[in-house]
Chain A
Amino acid sequence: MLSPAGDRAFVQFGRDLFVADLAEVGDTPPTITLFRVDDAPVPVRKVTDVGGEFPSWASDGGALHWALGNVLFTYDLDHVEAEEEEEEVTARGRALLRVRAAAITDTLRDKRAEADSLERADDEVPEELEDEITRLQADSVQVVADSLLARADSIRLAAEEVAAKSAAVRAGDEEVLADTTETYEAHERRIEAKLPRDIPRGTVALTGGRIITMTEIADETPSDTTGAPADTSGADPPEPPEAAGDTAAAAGDTTAAADDADAAEEEPKEPAMKPRIIEGGVVLVTDNRIVAVGPADSVEVPDGATVIDVSGKTLVPGFVDTHYHAQWLVPEVHPEEVWQYLATLSYGVTTTRDPQTATTDILSYTDRVRTGGMTGPRIYSTGPGVFAGENLRDADHAKTILRRYAEYFDTKTLKMYMTGNRQQRQWIIQAARDLELMPTTEGGLDYKIDITHAIDGYPGIEHNLPIAPIYSDVVELFKTSQTTNSPTLLVSYGGPFGENYFYTHEDVLGDEKLATFVPKANIDARARRRGPGAGGSPGEGGWFLEEEYVFPLQGEFVKKMLEEDARMAVGSHGQIQGVGYHWELWAMAAGGASNFDMLRAATILGAEAIGFGEELGSLEEGKFADIVILNSNPLDDLRNTVDIRYVMKDGRLYDGMTLDEIYPEARTLERQRPAEENAAGAAAGIRGN
């Protein structure tokens, strides 16, 4: 964009901003190449280090403003240029001094030579020559003294600068910044716009349902000492470990029960644990948090609480989608409701983590959900990924780049997107640890890169390892590294995309809920014909013989990982909004993982993968009230995960078909998307008789 004065323009490229001068050259304008700015035919200056967006000119063109997160940056170009001018003047002054000194020395040498030759000629040295030599010698001393003084001055100034900086750093007024090519740093100002947080008020009891808490209690059955459900068939659910009204299982009694188990078991420190599943239980929610979970007779429902009978239903924690893309959020001018998030929430996904966003628009959408301006799941994201284009120079540079996520976007995470070689990737994980970020990664179909991410302790790997089958050595590595893999089998690496299987096996066009939330054009593009490009799907093939799919083989790795207490999470990749999450869940189970293990991956493991394991992912006191209420039991059949009656997110209860709010307020979803016109009602065309 041109400056108001019309003599230069700023340029936004990637995460960085540049300022370029203009030159009038008729029909062939100057071309600048940003990775070779030194070769540009006009001066080009990179003004960002950690990055910037939304650049604008100050009205007089003397400064450039931009933002990153909620920080306003001001880069005072006039000031920088004045400083540079001053530096240049100083430098020229020094050069002049040197030139003068050299000239005096030369003259001195000449005069001396003249004097010498006169001496040799035994002539008397003329007095005026003696005088001149003396004067020149004095001058030369003066010049040396001047230059020494100038040097001392500059050293003193530099020392003062360093002292001031270190004092500021000690006082906490200033961050320690990595050195960048520019010594000047833009002025930063945090801009705090505040709105009330959307928190429902009141207490509600969800009564009579089967509660799959995703927590564990001590197993008191002597014959059954396995920690996890023994079955892996998926069709055979674990025995409900608690009868309705079993008070021993009440939250307060768990510890005591564990102690009892200690005494009875041979291994006293490791009491056998089993999943806590409560038949006919109560979940009590106050505002947006769970305050009690237990059998009916162990939870006191306070007077005035709303009671919602969910007898016969099954309650599970809200699903966590660790690899969710909205595909695509509308940038810049934002709609009031986002159909992708509505679809996602209606299918029980209460938390999404987008592991690579094109733009930062997602931050504003997140803000709107938090303030109740928009309906949707909890939205987290890595922000735009850290790619090889950052050209990481060293560990400090990595830290500068990562401050973008720690201090400006506040994402808690980032996507280390094949940023470079092993060394560069190690710089990033080290910087992330220092900045308390939990990065996730992508190996880009490169098994070797994936494995080195696990060895280096990266907390997340997106997409499946492209090699199958995977054996116990890799499972052992993942167990140690505690890296969570979100395999996104709907877009399998190393074989046909898993989603194509589902498009040929599911009634997508007949899905009433999908039709409610997903635009018809979106569904048509995906489901009517499968081939290269269908619904954005890349590659050459569209239809594959069933045995060609690789996700069942990859599912065997899912099974091994979950059985070995290594970490897998469910990421839909946003392939088809809403129902895609369930397809992914089912695809991951195709290798024989148990229904219970798959629910773990869908809930608590997903929450832990994104750093919210103490807040989300299970139904227990103190956690946020994100609950999916299913008509049928997913432990009987994993396909029941999609049989959703209600979704509670952050304490608000929605109808699972319509997202109309049921509690605390009864209100219809205000959704302004136009219903797809029924073409059969059009005015002309061939009509059947």
Chain B
Amino acid sequence: MSPRERQARIWRAAALATLVASTTGAPAAAQVVFGPGGPGNRDPLPLRGARKAAFTATEGTWMSLDVSPDGTTIVFDLLGDLYTMPIEGGKASPLLTGMAYETQPRFSPDGESVAFISDRSGGDALWTLRLDLTDTTRVAGGGSSLMLSPEWSPDGVFIAASRSNGLGGVAQLSMYHAERGSPLPLPGSPLLKRIGAAFSPDGRYVWYAGGFGDWTYNAVLPLYQLYRYDRETGATTTMTNRYGSAFRPAISPDGRWLVYGTRYNADTGLRKRDLETGEESWLAYPVQRDEQESRAPLDVLPGYAFLPDGSAIVISYGGRIWNVPMDGGEPAEIPFEAEVELDVGPQVKFEYQIDTTAMVTASQIRSPVVGPGGEQVVFTAFDRLWIRDLPDGEARRLTEGDAGEFHPQWSPDGRWIAYTTWDDTDGGHIMKVPAAGGEPVRLSATAALYYNVAWSPDGGRIVASRGAARQLKEAAGAFFGPIGGEFVWVPAAGPEPAEAEVISPTGLRDVPHFAADDPDRIYAYSPVEGLVSFRWDGTDVKRHLIVRGRQGIAGIGDPHPNEWEFLPRRVFPWRQGPDTTYTDPPAETG
């Protein structure tokens, strides 16, 4: 796919996303946001540690780090705690510990504070900490937002950071006044995930990596490129065009060098660019695998930094911390030793027994319907019809059939139960059986896949949805209802099976039913049309109610297409009742 095609796809996806948001009126991610005084502030992280991961770490995963402005100290994160140590390495001192996850520390230009991301208030937020431990400030974020990659402006007034409204959102770049404040958005394409801000030394330019959407499974590269925003003119310029993507820019203290990460063959390396000539070469290759192919909540590479004199960068890869000279010299390891004492929540472990009692109690009753007068309930359990007296009574099978029995409905006079059957060999039928027990009567002449039956109010007809039996027999995977389904009816009286009369194609409508005093109209629900009714010949369609709703991880950036069960992209026609708006297809990401 060419970049142009890809861009077109992203535009379409974004347009769709916008449409989805506007048709449902929902925010991109409906989540709880706690204001001051909300539960988030009373006990932001209620869980207390019950175990301890205590060990001496000499290597670590994805450690983001920074070098202090005076060049003497490294601050880094490890398993959600912050540590400092001398620039030469050695023993690390814990700076922030505890169960909160604190990460991506950056020194303020005056060296007195660090900015970092933490969930200590319950949600992801941008915080600053004075290194003398006299103050912490929540600068921005919290609630359901996700934040990453803070960076101070050279004058120490602002902190740039990226933020998205919960999982699936495309992170956007803003500056925040360090004394706390609302975001000052740095304009850019809302389709680009914009992360990893780096300022030029004069503060004029903000470099960042822009990714196409949040992430893509089975991605085809490139996924990120570098952009540069000019705070003076408001212009954004594309700065790279690499097959292996470009991410995590850093600018040398003298403004001459750009360093960034990229994939080359199957590995990741660091490029350096002379900003005067535009020429590039490798600074280090390979380093460690980047994170461009998933969400990169800690950016596409861990945070790294130039030494104040610009002679080298300090970066973690391969689980260790390195001094990588800008002049092409061999990287030198900066060894560290951190005494980790991480609080871990209590163990949640139970030993369950497998039941061996002689009788199995059905874990589920399906399609229960209470008869006229409320004296009995008929339902499906073990895929067979059962009946039970109310309020008390023993559940008993209603038939002796050995096919599946589904979707029971009482006749208006309460004497019969209509239902459908399914047999893997013979297909299914519309049946009825006396509520008092007795011989079932087959009402349909031709086997098919019948479902969702309803009695007409006068008890004369039984309506059902129908598809070819072949379709269920051949179902090879996702089967959420037949293609070409129809509403049909059969005479309820029997006693001989009859060919069903076709009412109309079901389309997306399903669950036919009636109002008690209106024998002329069949009601059904369609996720597109809402609750509708029509005549026995399918004409004169009226709409009665439209329902809109939205699931939690509303499709945008649906994290797991293989598990999108919760928000089917297709209609789920068999769900009982108006199963409301699965009409909004989740937008594909990327």
Contact = CB atoms under 8 A, between A and B. Distances in A.
B539 to A, nearest CB: 15
Interface stretch (B28-36, B88-96, B155-163): B28-36
A288 B355 CA distance: 12
Interface in A598-640: 611-616, 624
Contact of B361 (A194, A331, A468, A480): A194
A607 to B, nearest CB: 10
A495 B574 contact: no
A54 B578 contact: no
A333 B25 contact: no
A327 interface: yes
Interface string B359-381: 11111111111111110010111
Contact of B32 (A65, A424, A616): A424
A423 B266 contact: no
Given A197-B357, A442-B563, 12 more contacts: A33-B547, A54-B368, A56-B577, A69-B363, A74-B370, A197-B360, A333-B449, A391-B31, A538-B561, A539-B217, A539-B218, A553-B289
A371 B382 contact: yes
Interface stretch (A83-91, A153-161, A175-183, A354-362): A354-362
Contacts of A385: 566
Contact of B352 (A9, A331, A482, A612): A612
B184 interface: no
Nearest to A14: B551
B377 A72 contact: yes
A645 B295 CA distance: 43
Contact of B476 (A60, A356, A519): A519
Contact of A471 (B99, B319, B562): B319
7 contacts: A191-B377, A191-B381, A199-B356, A438-B348, A473-B61, A479-B53, A540-B216
Nearest to B580: A13
Interface residues on A, range: 35 or more
A70 B380 CA distance: 10
A482 B347 contact: yes
Interface stretch (B118-126, B173-181, B306-314, B487-495): B118-126
Interface in B84-134: 99-101, 103, 119, 122-124
B346 A433 contact: yes
Contacts of B372: 59-60
A434 to B, nearest CB: 10
A522 B391 CA distance: 47
Which of the listed residues B1, B39, B363 has the most CB atoms from chain A within 10 Å of its own CB?
A: B363
A424 B40 CA distance: 9
Interface in B379-438: 379-383, 386, 388, 390-391, 395, 403-404, 406-407, 410, 412, 414, 420, 422-425, 428
Nearest to A468: B289
B461 interface: no
Given A31-B546, A32-B547, A367-B360, A388 B381 contact: no
Nearest to A421: B123
B578 A10 contact: yes
B547 A34 contact: yes
B289 A388 contact: no
B383 A334 contact: yes
A410 interface: yes
Interface string A376-401: 00100000110111111111000000
B420 A5 contact: no
B579 to A, nearest CB: 5
B219 interface: yes
B365 A70 contact: yes
Contacts of A541: 218-220
B260 interface: no
A620 to B, nearest CB: 15
Contacts of A53: 576
B548 A624 contact: no
B340 interface: yes
A191 B390 CA distance: 10
Given A1-B525, A197-B359, A336 B546 contact: no
A335 B551 CA distance: 29
Given A422-B101, A521-B476, A477 B342 contact: yes
B578 A336 contact: no
Which of the listed residues B46, B542, B547 has the most CB atoms from chain A within 10 Å of its own CB?
A: B547
Nearest to B548: A33
Contacts of A542: 218
Interface in B318-338: 318-319
Interface string B209-220: 000000111111
A656 interface: no
B473 interface: yes
Contact of B79 (A449, A477, A673): A477
A410 B428 contact: no
B269 to A, nearest CB: 15
A5 B517 CA distance: 7
Interface stretch (B14-22, B187-195, B231-239, B477-485): B477-485
Contacts of B354: 378, 612, 615-616, 624
Contacts of B566: 356, 358, 384-385, 387, 417
A657 to B, nearest CB: 21
Given A455-B345, A466-B294, A537-B218, A194 B395 contact: yes
Interface in B42-101: 44-47, 50-53, 55, 57, 59-62, 78-80, 99-101
Given A367-B381, A452-B119, A473 B549 contact: no
Interface stretch (B277-285, B496-504, B552-560): B552-560
A1 B31 CA distance: 29
B293 interface: yes
B137 interface: no
B275 interface: no
A332 B407 contact: yes
B451 interface: yes
Given A55-B577, A467-B61, A615-B353, A364 B383 contact: yes
B445 interface: no
A662 interface: no
A30 interface: yes
Contact of B266 (A58, A447, A467, A547): A547
A423 B123 contact: yes
A613 B580 contact: no
B359 A195 contact: yes
B46 A423 contact: yes
Contact of A525 (B355, B428, B477, B559): B477
Interface in A536-569: 536-542, 544-545, 547-548, 550, 553
Contacts of A394: 39
Contacts of A337: 424
A561 B373 CA distance: 61
B183 to A, nearest CB: 18
B241 interface: no
